Amino acid sequence: MADKENKNHPNVSGHFYVDDSCIDCDLCRSNVEQFFTRDDEIGLSYVHRQPSSADEIALVEEAMDNCPSGSIGNDG
């Protein structure tokens, strides 16, 4: 389960985030690249755009459910 106290620093403000338990598997980035990207400096994913519609939220929640390391969180 993602820990909001350990969010990766590049996450944009909002409910969804990626924490430092990310294993850089590329699953979230390859499935919903409009919301997730990679920070090459830290070698981990982060949320670069928050979803704004119900359909977009569903996409991010699906990525959260499929994350093998449980690194995607929702603190909203």
pLDDT digits (tens, 9 = 90+) for 14-65: 999 999 999 999 999 999 999 999 999 999 999 999 999 999 999 999 999 9
- Closest of 42, 55, 49 to residue 15, by C-alpha: 49
Residue 59 to residue 53: CA distance in whole angstroms: 10
What's the CATH number where 37 sits? 3.30.70.20
| pLDDT beyond 90 at 4 | yes
Overall number of domains in the chain:
1
* Distance from the Cα of residue 40 to its chain's centroid: 15
Q: Which structural domain range is residue 16 located in?
A: 4-74
